Amino acid sequence: MLNEIKDAIRDKYLDFGFTDDQRKAVLILFAGFLAVGGIFFALSQGRASEPALNIVPTVITPTIPEITELLIVDVSGRVRKPGVYSLEKGSRAIDALDLAGGALPGVSLSDINLAHILFDGEQIIVGAPKVSYSSSSRSAPKTKVPTASSPLSLNSATLAQLDTLPGIGPVMANRIFAYRKLNGPFASIEDLKKVSGIGDVTFAEISKLVRI
């Protein structure tokens, strides 16, 4: 009975004059179309269920180069390469001396504070002549101490006279004397600040006691 029903359905819906082999081929092709359609449907459903990607734009912050503050320092005297050099702010006297190639053989650096922090426009004089105090100079009358009413001339003062200024000992007197010898007469009292070791405090002490 079941076979009769199958034959009836087959004859009614699939009998288009095809042979059995042709009908099987049509059924296989139809089943293939259904399978492909099912796959596409499943894929489309999967894409629809995927969450949307949240794309965040990347912000690139430009890098601003750090500006290094420089100092201009004059290194003169008995060094290998005397000249004017640029150094970073906070550099010390030994850094400037290294740029100048170091002191010449046999030159003492005992009168230079190598750890001294440099300032812009400073001059470092290496191997400046030293003051010589003889026994006769010790017994000679004491050099007159300069005052505000009788200031000392920076361009004509002797080493002994420079030594009488407050805060200026033999070493600093040598530096002032050597600066004048190497650079010529002082153009202004403020030029004293260019002498290595004379800072704002020392300059304030002696500025009213000297003149050009």
Is residue 122 classed as helix, strand or coil in its secondary structure? Answer: coil
pLDDT at 65: 66
C-alpha distance from residue 197 to each of 115, 122, 124, 138, 157 (Å): 11, 9, 9, 26, 19
Q: Which residues of 33-66 are buried (b: 16+ CB within 10 A; e: fewer)?
A: eeeeeeeeeeeeeeeeeeeeeeeeeeeeeeeeee
C-alpha distance from residue 156 to each of 26, 31, 151, 160, 205 (Å): 125, 119, 12, 12, 20
pLDDT at 155: 87
Quick: pLDDT tens for 100-153. Answer: 999 999 988 888 888 889 888 888 888 876 555 444 444 444 555 666 567 888
Q: Tell whether the model's pLDDT for residue 179 goes beyond 90.
A: no
Quick: pLDDT tens for 34-78. Answer: 777 767 676 766 555 555 566 777 777 777 666 678 889 989 889
Asked if 173 and 131 touch (Cβ cutoff 8 Å), the reply is yes
pLDDT at 122: 84
Asked if 192 and 212 touch (Cβ cutoff 8 Å), the reply is no
The reported pTM is 0.41
pLDDT at 136: 42
Q: Residue type at 19?
A: T
Quick one: average pLDDT of 178-200?
87
